[in-house]
Amino acid sequence: MSSLPWSHPTPSAYAVRVPILDLLLPLLYPPRCAACARELRRPAGAALCRACVASLEPVGTGCSRCGDPGAPETCRRCATAPPPFRIARACFRYAEGGTAADLLRRWKYRGDHVVGSSLCSVFRTHRQRTVECYDVVVPVPLHASRLAERGFNQAALLARSACRDGERLIVNALRRARVAGSQTRLGRRARLDSVAEAFVPAAATGIRNCRVLLVDDVLTTGATVRACSSALLAAGALSVDVWTLARTPAPRPPSAAVPSAAPPRGST
């Protein structure tokens, strides 16, 4: 007995059904913001709502060399010990308890790649607003053991998202020769000691006589990007600029206490 003509859908029937499903699924299961879980009506960046993108605090003005937010045009650190990189720039500020810190923690330590994709989209948007072009884009590397543990290098994913036409992405231009351990709670001097000579260029990096863009997720004290920039320049790079997703402002000395005004006579 032959099958009924409607018992087996034809390829053309599938072609009709798929667009219908594409229309129905967002109505039945509306996409939600990766940060706050609110329904996404007008996504601002992959899976982030406009309110959460707006809560990512811009870096603002700061040091023209290292980009330290709120610092003078040339901060004290750059004046006393100029960094090997030409400039460092970031998309927004990093502060514990803030949106940026929460999103980065979910991406790096919980493997939330929906959040990661959203951050890469934001990073790419910020990069597209600039005019600087480079020959090579290089991510800050992870040690092989850390890469195996995490399963991905967030700096490499950011670098890939920001790479423009005509720029070469060289993921393995640098190698992390030793594990530096977690630097989350280390001060600046301890971080500098931790990453000293930790990065070495690959045997054939392809960066000689090239303008290099170095990419990382967060710049805190600058110890890591200083060490990477020195290794790239030693390998023959013409110059190194740094771009990070977020930037931690350098600690400021507490301002002198302003003496309170004397109470009026007769007051108790």
**Average of pLDDT values for 80-99?**
93
Residue 11, H or E segment = helix 11-28
Average pLDDT taken over every residue of the chain = 81
User: Percent of the chain scored above 70 by pLDDT?
Assistant: 73
Domains and CATH numbers, the chain: 60-94+133-247 (3.40.50)
Q: How far apart are CA 225 and CA 68, in angstroms?
A: 14
**Average of pLDDT values for 21-36?**
69
Taking residue 10's Cβ as centre, other Cβ atoms within 10 Å add up to 10
Confidence label for 184 from pLDDT (cuts 50, 70 and 90): low
DSSP assignment letter at 174:
E
Closest to 246 in 3D by CA, of 207, 215, 210: 215
**What's the pLDDT at 114?**
87
Indicate whether 180 pLDDT > 50: yes
DSSP assignment letter at 98:
S
3-state helix, strand, coil in the chain (%, to 5): 35, 15, 50
Any idea which of 19-33, 89-103, 171-185, 227-241 has the lowest mean pLDDT? 19-33
Q: For the purposes of burial, counting CB atoms within 10 Å of the CB of 80, is it exposed (0-12), middle (13-18) or buried (19 or more)?
A: exposed
**Average of pLDDT values for 121-126?**
92
